[in-house]
Amino acid sequence: MLGCWATEIGALNTIVLMRGYETDMEFMAERRQLAMAADPFFCQSLMTGYSAEAYLPFPWFDPVPAGLFGLLPVSWTPR
């Protein structure tokens, strides 16, 4: 897992996961497993939709470092 974001603008309650893979074969195996799973993230009853997109990094960018860089935002209640 390289990153996890939750939307606050636009389509609310959308969670975006950024994952990295060492090889194309590893990526394809994971994608196939998610596509075949009846409940890919073990929360099907809470989900209203699911989509997967794949992107390649620009060749001149360094790999994204994995690690703990912060926590998910806390909930906020307007007054």
Which two three-digit tokens encode residue 54?
């794949």
Nearest to 66 by CA among 4, 17, 22, 3: 3
pTM above 0.75, yes or no: no
For residue range 16-68, list pLDDT tens digits in order.
888 888 899 999 999 999 889 988 888 888 888 888 888 888 888 887 776 66
Q: Please, are residues 7 and 73 in contact by the beta-carbon 8 Å criterion?
A: no
**Helix or strand run (H / E) with residue 4:** strand 3-6
* Nearest-angstrom CA–CA distance, 29 and 23: 10
- Alpha carbon separation from 4 to 17, 60, 63, 68 (Å, rounded): 5, 23, 16, 11
Q: Where are the domains of the chain?
A: 1-79
pLDDT at 11 over 70: yes
